[in-house]
């Protein structure tokens, strides 16, 4: 049988106490496994270790044959899922938005769940396929992976990790039944995202250092190709300079530096917002756990820190102590309210979206200007001058 989960002599604990010691177990695909035990025996702790919330002290956990500790948070989220016993959405999300969050680990930044699938289907339908099978062949020809499981088909757009099932869940007008009706002439298809396709812009590419390539072993054939390629890039570079009226090298350098600074600024804003949002999520969890287990911990204290009481309420007491330790490490004398965290989270989300609106444009502008400037340096011989100055400086330092 195919192994999907394996524990090898795993030891997990909180503070100085081991909750699970030398635990080993294997779970195969298709099996249903239950964890049974009294409070504080480590059931939740074991689940937390699988999802990476709690670290392990000894041993290894393997998921689909991969070391769990070496998986990134995104990789782990793609192959594991947990339905908690209780769930509280403290932020004003709609039910659909919460469900859609499950797609987040499979998406690229700012990418929607089925945009590429819509686009490919729309483009294939424009070619007037004779029937559904012809539509599927067109999609395959466009680089889309088509698979069938049971009675339904699934599509996986190029570059995507997961497939989307061709059902009503894919979106109105895109299920197999609806597409068959369109192809049979029984209804019309209205593209969900009918975005105009702009003329592809001729991007400027970095010119090749032909002499360096020849020294590395490239032959005459490569030299002929590279010479033609460089001529094209020289023309593209001159067109760019003309279109943007960048006839002064100093102005070009200043604009390139400004674009790089703008990109770095937006990138730092986004990273700072994401970091703080993660901190808020962790802090919120600790505050909820602290409040939820407070009565149990007060009773534990009144019982004189009884070992019997602790054994009966181990999980709640450990959650309370972990939260308290986190507050102490943060130097928090007064806990923030969940409402204040919600407000800060919403503000950060707004800042992040605002930064994203210019992030891609700033990145593309920076890359283009850096490429153009590098080509100008090569055309004008500035690159060789800089290398000569660098070599001369090194020689002087070595002479001293």
pLDDT band at 99 (very low <50, low <70, confident <90, very high): low
- 82 pLDDT more than 90: no
Instruction: Give every strand in the sheet of 17-28, ordered side by side.
Output: 17-28, 3-14, 58-63, 66-67
**276-301 b/e (C-beta count within 10 Å ≥ 16 → b):** bbeebeebbebbbbbeebeebbeebe
Where is mean pLDDT largest: 137-141, 268-272, 393-397? 268-272
pLDDT at 194: 46
pLDDT tens figures, 171-229: 777 788 888 888 888 888 877 654 454 555 667 889 988 888 899 998 888 899 989 99
Q: Give percent of the chain above pLDDT 70.
A: 82
Q: Are 22 and 59 in contact (CB under 8 A)?
A: yes
pTM over cut 0.75: no
Q: 46 near 19, Cβ under 8 Å?
A: no
Q: Does residue 383 register a pLDDT over 80?
A: no
The whole-number pLDDT of residue 111 equals 47
Least confident of 14-28, 74-88, 285-299: 74-88
Here the contacts of 6-11 (C-beta below 8 Å, separation 24 or greater) are 6/60, 6/61, 6/62, 7/59, 7/60, 7/61, 8/59, 8/60, 8/61, 8/62, 9/58, 9/59, 9/60, 10/49, 10/56, 10/58, 10/59, 10/60, 10/61, 11/56, 11/57, 11/58, 11/59
Q: Is the pLDDT of residue 91 over 70?
A: no
Q: Is the pLDDT of residue 110 over 50?
A: no
* Model confidence at 124: pLDDT above 80: no
Q: How far is residue 57's CA from residue 218's CA, in Å, rounded to a whole number?
A: 53
- CA dist list (Å): 390 to 380, 384, 387: 18, 10, 5
- Return mean pLDDT, the chain: 82
Give 12's strand partners. Answer: 20
Alpha-carbon distance 257 to 170, whole Å?
Answer: 44
At residue 61, the pLDDT reads 93
pLDDT in tens, 271-320: 999 999 988 888 988 999 999 999 999 999 999 999 999 999 999 999 99
DSSP annotation of 244: T
pLDDT at 125: 75
Is the pLDDT higher at 109 or at 348?
348
Q: What is the pLDDT of residues 43-63, one digit of tens each?
A: 888 888 888 878 889 999 999
- 256-275: b or e for each residue (b if 16 or more CB lie within 10 Å)? beebbebbeebeebbeebee
């Amino acid at each position: 049988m195919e192994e999907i989960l394996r524990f090898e002599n795993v030891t997990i604990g909180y503070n100085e106490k081991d909750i699970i010691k030398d635990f080993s177990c294997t779970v195969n695909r298709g099996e249903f496994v239950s964890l049974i035990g009294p409070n504080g025996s480590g059931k939740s702790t074991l689940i937390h270790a699988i999802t990476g919330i709690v670290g392990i002290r000894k041993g290894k956990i393997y998921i689909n044959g991969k070391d769990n500790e070496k998986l990134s948070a995104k990789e782990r989220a793609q192959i594991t899922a947990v339905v908690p016993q209780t769930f509280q959405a403290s932020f004003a999300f709609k039910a659909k938005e919460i469900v859609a969050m499950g797609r987040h680990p499979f998406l690229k930044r700012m990418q929607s769940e089925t945009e590429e699938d819509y686009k490919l289907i729309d483009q294939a339908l424009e070619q007037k396929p004779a029937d559904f099978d012809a539509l599927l062949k067109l999609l395959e020809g466009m680089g889309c992976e088509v698979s069938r499981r049971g009675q339904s088909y699934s599509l996986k757009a190029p570059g995507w990790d997961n497939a989307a099932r061709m059902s009503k869940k894919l979106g109105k007008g895109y299920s197999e039944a609806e597409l068959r009706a369109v192809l049979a002439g029984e209804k019309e298809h209205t593209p969900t995202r009918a975005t105009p396709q702009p003329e592809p812009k001729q991007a400027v590419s970095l010119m090749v250092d032909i002499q360096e390539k020849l020294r590395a072993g490239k032959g005459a054939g490569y030299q002929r190709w590279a010479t033609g390629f460089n001529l094209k890039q020289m023309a593209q570079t001159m067109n760019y300079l003309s279109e943007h009226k960048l006839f002064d090298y100093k102005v070009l350098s200043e604009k390139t530096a400004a674009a790089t600074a703008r990109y770095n600024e937006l990138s730092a804003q986004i990273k700072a917002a994401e970091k703080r949002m993660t901190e808020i999520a962790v802090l919120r969890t600790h505050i909820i756990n602290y409040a939820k287990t407070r009565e149990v911990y007060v009773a534990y204290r009144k019982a004189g820190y009884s070992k019997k009481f602790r054994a009966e309420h181990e999980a709640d007491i450990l959650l309370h102590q972990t939260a308290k330790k986190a507050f102490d490490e943060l130097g928090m004398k007064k806990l923030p309210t969940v409402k204040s965290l919600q407000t800060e989270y919403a503000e950060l989300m707004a800042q992040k979206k605002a930064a994203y609106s210019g992030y891609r444009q700033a990145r593309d502008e920076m890359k283009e200007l850096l490429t153009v400037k590098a080509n100008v340096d090569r055309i004008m011989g500035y690159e060789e001058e800089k290398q000569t100055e660098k070599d001369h400086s090194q020689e002087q330092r070595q002479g001293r």
